[in-house]
Chain A
Amino acid sequence: MAERRERTRRDPGRRDTSRRTTARGLSQTPRKARESAVQSREQPVRRRRPVRTKLFSLGQGLDMPLFVFIMVLLAVGLVMLFSASYAYSYYRQGGDSYYYIRRQGMFALAGVAAMLLISTFDYHRFHKLAYPIFVVAVVLLGAVFVFGQLLHVESIAPSEGVATRWLRLGPIQFQPSEAAKFALIVVLAHYISQHVEEMEGFVTGALKPILLVGAVAGLIVLEKHLSGTLIVGLLGVLMLFLGGTRVRHLLVLGIIAGILLLAVLGIRNALSPEEAGEAVETAAGGYQMDRVIGWLHPFDPPEGVDTWQIRQSLYSIGSGGLLGVGLGQSRQKYLWLPEPQNDFIFAIVCEELGLIGALVVIILFSLLIWRGMYISLHAKDKFGTMLGLGITLQVGIQAVLNICVVTNTIPNTGISLPFFSYGGTSLMILLGEMGILLNISRSANVERT
């Protein structure tokens, strides 16, 4: 524990937070001191360079359970992606069954490398990077809005129905909202760790950070990307709640945000009645209503409500039964379930591996969430705690919501399943975030295996 305090003090960038961290560290001392002391004697290297982990000792100080959970989920995810995309890829990519797994595999390799690299990158540096990252994310989101919704430049921001979620920059295509979630986590973690004492106040504790959340959520709303908005909003509110913002402040601001949202839609409506009317109808009104109706009546939807995807998903899940039809044996992936490699990949997991396989995956996610939380709560400072919790919550919320959608527990909305769904950049970002979590674990007060 002595070593820990020493390291903190030496960190020039964190001088202002050292007091709080120390205080927290002290509170842990009685339980962990002896073990840590024993460990530290056996690892003289870390004593010399306590903050920067050397590249050639990547594993050092890593939380092995977390690392194992990540790698197992990634491995299972890749296997299932291969299985789920096999047929779809064959038909859609001109007979190439390996198209999706090849690309996803390459991103996974690069992602794991990045994760390990980032795990050696002291997360405290994100204090300085928080606002720059946030600004970049906001700019990218703005670009999607400008090119997608205002200028309709398909080559840069291709539209999918009413929504424009993607940004195309040369060969790379990614969803800025994925980056924005991370940016929001970092900026909120930074902000909260900077204002721990003032979080109970309204302006500092609620209004200012909510504006940050609102900026991101608002831009995602403008993309007409409802599920993204939902996740960002939920994530932001939960982080603030954890960070100490008063619940009543959140409620007040939530109501204001709701009114604002309606006002924005109203203004759009007034500015360009036709287009906006349609947009409100489709993006916020009728379209969402259809989803609710489709959720309630997946098999006998009223005229005009398309429930093909959720219906096929339930067929897949049901076909699996207790033990599943066997890996690779799904029939539903043969073009019945649309894009089985994306949001509905879990249905193929259920079909091929059955209830047992689905439970194994759910348990893996639960373990990851639990471990992420555990590490975060044992991080050596508030920034680490908030950063870790944000990342863990993001993964947890997405996993729970995705599986809820796939099993028709909640209405259909486009949320991908972390580690499973196809998507290069989002996998990279996810593994990068896991890298940060691992980095937090290196310095956290966690019993290591």
Chain B
Amino acid sequence: MAKGTTERISTKAKWITGLLIFAGFGLVLVSLIRWQLVRGEEMEARALEQSLQSTTISAMRGTIYDATGTKILAQSASVWTIVLEPNYLNDDDALRRKVAKGLAPILDMDEEEIYEKTGEDSYFSYLKRRVETDVRDAVNEFLTENEIESGVRFLPDYKRYYPYGTVASNVLGFTGSDNQGLDGLELYYESELRGTAGRLVASKNAWGTDMPFEYEQYVGAEDGHSLVLTIDETVQSILEKHLAEGIEKYKVKNGAVAIMMEVDTGAIVGLATKPNYDPNDPYTILDATVLAEIEALPEEERDAATTNAWYKQWRNKAVSDTYYPGSVFKMITGAMGLEEGVVTLDSTYTCTGGFQVEGEPEPLHCWKREGHGLEDFSAGIYNSCNPWMMHLGSLLGVETFCKYRDAFGFTQPTGIDLPGEATNLYHDVETMGATDLAVESFGQNLSITPVQMVTAASAIANGGYLVQPHVVDRILAPDGSILKTTDTAPLRQVISEETSKAITEILRYNAENGTASGGYVAGYRIAGKTGTSEKVAKWNEDRSKPMEYIASYCGFAPADDPKYALLVYFDEPDGSENGGLTGGNAVAGPIFTQIMAETLPYLGVEARYTEEEYEELDTVAPSVTGVPLEDAIAALDEAGLDHSVIGSEAEGVIVSAQIPESGSALPRDGEVVLYTEGYAEDEATTQVPDFSGLDLVNASYLASINGLQISVNGADISSAAVMLQNIKAGETVQVGTVISLTFAENINTETFVPVG
């Protein structure tokens, strides 16, 4: 019995231990093989994934230069971001207090705020982003003095600067908190500008702090590429200056656009839109009126209103807004007609004040209700005659019209290198009825972007080639070498050289003597067409309000060898506030004139005057200051200028000052006022009167009785009136000062067309 027991124990014990060792550890072995060998790499990868943290080393964002290649429109500079590691601080209240007290004045932050942050349970908390190096040094000094070794860190970072402030803001866009492009070129060229961030890969423990491993791997950052734009800062500034002037003068409610394009290449030399913003500080609303409106709102509506205002001022109206081109489009319809041969320059049509479209209850009217009478083709365009265009449209037919409309690029986004290009709304070939065709023939009910319009106008100007609009000329590597130059080859030929020349000639006549005389610039052979687009859709929403307009002027110069096209576009000039000015000629024309007059000389377009123009041309005042009075008068006589003297006229008296100053422009038969010793102050100054709305004769008279001189710009026709004056009414100037007046005719060449 006993022996049996012992043997049984022995057997059982061996079985149990055997099971324990072979089955138990056997199972373990299977598991180990599974996890270590079969799925080992996967497990290791997962372990590494959680413990290897890569710190990004920011790449420096590329610079954006203007067309001159020397002016910097956007640039990144090294700054520092200060980060707290609260877990090294949060268990020592005295230390927290000390850090908060010490850093608050350096960082210009609230002491309590810093104190709160030091109490967080984390190893990473932004304290202040993007401080300059001197601030970082001051913080460092504070930490060293107080022997604080951990808890505050510095991360290298970059800050984006836009040295020209608001200039070209809607083209440039801006960057966000991680230096990522959020709008404009910064967004569109994000992949070029951003560069490749470097990485520092290091092991971290589960708390996110460093692990004593030599697993570190450093990959240097590659700086971003730079952009050289086609936009010239000088041109851009001129565009913006005059847009602002126009907005103020014509009480424009919904912003404005001016686009200047090199007609042969599609290079945009200036693209200004209003409202705009300062990309250095994109979240500040610049428009004081809008700001006041937001302030007036109840608290809960302010955020939404602010966001709206942001999007409005960030919006690039030139590519994101669509409008009906209106009469400007007549140059396109005209070109279609000539190109297809359905009309010739000699074709005529009699405008009776309306055009009967089949199926319509009554004729669609011309802007001139009484009708233009018998007009040849050119007159149809320069009179901006709607029936002529409807007639032409019916001659073309739907298919041909649509073919050219596509060819001119009105139905596809242009592919300009800017984000947010709008899509077009139009009747396609299948759905276009006779009425639609008639209305589109004079530019209504066809939604296009301003960029599309100026591109199509360029095709008219350059011999018929549709070009690719673009704002970036070339992309540079960080070392300055050229990586890529934009291809400026035309996309396709839309019309022939002959058609192009013919239309250009008509438009030139139009700008000098036709409905577009508001855009005339002496010596620069402007070809242009006005447009006054009705915002029908808006009006349809609420017909109790008056119709709103978009006043535009699209033209190019010089007509004999077109170089630059310019579209000026004002969205909703307030006729009830500005004296009834809503038409393209009166509103956009004078601004077009001013821009062309200022930019073309800068862009190297040579002025060539006709004899008549030469007569009226301004001359430059010679320097007669500091010489004896007799010599000064002799010099002025020789230059064919009159003179008057204020002060002593004694023999040998020295001229102490002159108005206009040496080098300033004054009319060819103008007068130089010479100031000598002892003139009376009140005698020497005068107030500028308001010239608005006066014709040339009355403006000259008003100037002379105020002791002023005028210089004439724009329309040289008798019915034109003063639209702009370069010195505001009420300002005090010295006697003899030359006031530059811009004339234009106030004609609204649009027809009310209440078609769906």
Residues of A within 8 A of B (CB): 20, 23-24, 27, 87, 91, 196-197, 199, 238, 241-244, 314-322, 331-332, 334-336, 350, 354-355, 358-359, 362, 365-366, 369-370, 373, 376-377, 382, 385, 389, 392-393, 396-397, 400-401, 403-404, 407-409
Does any Cβ of A come within 8 Å of B51's Cβ? yes
Which residues of chain A come closer than 8 Å to B50, judged between CB atoms? 315, 336
Which residues of chain A come closer than 8 Å to B2, judged between CB atoms? 20, 23-24, 196
Q: A321–B40 contact, CB under 8 A?
A: yes
Q: B21–A315 contact, CB under 8 A?
A: no
Interface-centre pick from A243, A317, A385 (highest chain B CB count, 10 A): A317
Does any Cβ of A come within 8 Å of B206's Cβ? yes
Q: B42–A396 contact, CB under 8 A?
A: no
Which residues of chain A come closer than 8 Å to B206, judged between CB atoms? 334-336
Interface of A is mostly: helix
Interface of B is mostly: helix
- Nearest Cβ distance between residue A1 and chain B, in whole angstroms? 16
Q: A318–B43 contact, CB under 8 A?
A: yes
Interface string of B628-656 (1 = CB under 8 A from A): 00000000000000000000000000000
Q: B36–A87 contact, CB under 8 A?
A: no
Also in contact, A91 and B207, with CB within 8 A (given A27-B6, A238-B16): yes
* Of B26-34, B302-310, B412-420, the one touching chain A: B26-34
Give the contacts of B386-430 with A (CB-CB under 8 A): none
Give the contacts of B1-31 with A (CB-CB under 8 A): 1-3, 5-6, 8-10, 12-14, 16-17, 20-21, 24-25, 27-31
Does any Cβ of A come within 8 Å of B211's Cβ? yes
Q: B1–A197 contact, CB under 8 A?
A: yes
Which residues of chain A come closer than 8 Å to B17, judged between CB atoms? 369-370, 373, 392-393, 396
Does any Cβ of A come within 8 Å of B39's Cβ? yes
Q: B25–A362 contact, CB under 8 A?
A: yes
Q: A315–B46 contact, CB under 8 A?
A: yes
Q: Whole-angstrom distance between the alpha carbons of A312 and B90 in the complex?
A: 29
Which residues of chain A come closer than 8 Å to B30, judged between CB atoms? 409
Also in contact, A373 and B40, with CB within 8 A (given A27-B6, A331-B47, A409-B27): no
Interface string of B198-242 (1 = CB under 8 A from A): 000001011100010100000000000000000000000000000
Contact of B47 among A318, A358, A370 (CB under 8 A): A318
Q: Whole-angstrom distance between the alpha carbons of A207 and B36 in the complex?
A: 46
**Other A-B pairs beyond A87-B205, A336-B205, 10, CB < 8 Å:** A87-B211, A91-B207, A242-B12, A244-B5, A318-B40, A355-B36, A370-B17, A404-B28, A404-B31, A409-B27
Also in contact, A318 and B205, with CB within 8 A (given A242-B13, A373-B14, A396-B17): no
Also in contact, A359 and B29, with CB within 8 A (given A321-B36, A335-B205): yes
Q: A319–B20 contact, CB under 8 A?
A: no
Which residues of chain B come closer than 8 Å to A242, judged between CB atoms? 9, 12-13, 16
Q: A315–B20 contact, CB under 8 A?
A: no
Does any Cβ of A come within 8 Å of B537's Cβ? no
Which residues of chain B come closer than 8 Å to A27, judged between CB atoms? 3, 6
Give 6 CB contacts A-B under 8 Å.
Answer: A318-B35, A319-B47, A334-B211, A373-B14, A389-B9, A396-B21
Also in contact, A366 and B25, with CB within 8 A (given A242-B9, A318-B44): yes
Q: Which residue of B lies closest to A395 (CB)?
A: B20
- Nearest Cβ distance between residue A92 and chain B, in whole angstroms? 11
Q: A409–B44 contact, CB under 8 A?
A: no
Q: Whole-angstrom distance between the alpha carbons of A23 and B203 in the complex?
A: 66
- Nearest Cβ distance between residue A100 and chain B, in whole angstroms? 17
- Nearest Cβ distance between residue A53 and chain B, in whole angstroms? 25
Which residues of chain B come closer than 8 Å to A400, judged between CB atoms? 20, 24-25, 28
Which residues of chain B come closer than 8 Å to A369, judged between CB atoms? 17, 20-21
- Nearest Cβ distance between residue B397 and chain A, in whole angstroms? 66
Q: Whole-angstrom distance between the alpha carbons of A320 and B33 in the complex?
A: 11
Q: Which residue of B lies closest to A315 (CB)?
A: B47
Q: Which residue of B lies closest to A401 (CB)?
A: B24
Q: A355–B20 contact, CB under 8 A?
A: no
Does any Cβ of A come within 8 Å of B37's Cβ? yes
Which residues of chain A come closer than 8 Å to B8, judged between CB atoms? 244
Which residues of chain B come closer than 8 Å to A334, judged between CB atoms? 51, 203, 205-206, 211
Q: Whole-angstrom distance between the alpha carbons of A244 and B4 in the complex?
A: 10
Q: Whole-angstrom distance between the alpha carbons of A407 and B40 in the complex?
A: 12
Q: Which residue of B lies closest to A238 (CB)?
A: B16
- Nearest Cβ distance between residue A259 and chain B, in whole angstroms? 27
Which residues of chain A come closer than 8 Å to B211, judged between CB atoms? 87, 331, 334
Q: Whole-angstrom distance between the alpha carbons of A255 and B207 in the complex?
A: 48
Q: Whole-angstrom distance between the alpha carbons of A335 and B213 in the complex?
A: 14
Q: Whole-angstrom distance between the alpha carbons of A234 and B502 in the complex?
A: 107
Q: B32–A358 contact, CB under 8 A?
A: yes
Q: Whole-angstrom distance between the alpha carbons of A397 and B25 in the complex?
A: 11
Q: Whole-angstrom distance between the alpha carbons of A20 and B35 in the complex?
A: 50
Q: Whole-angstrom distance between the alpha carbons of A408 and B28 in the complex?
A: 9
Q: Which residue of A lies closest to B43 (CB)?
A: A318
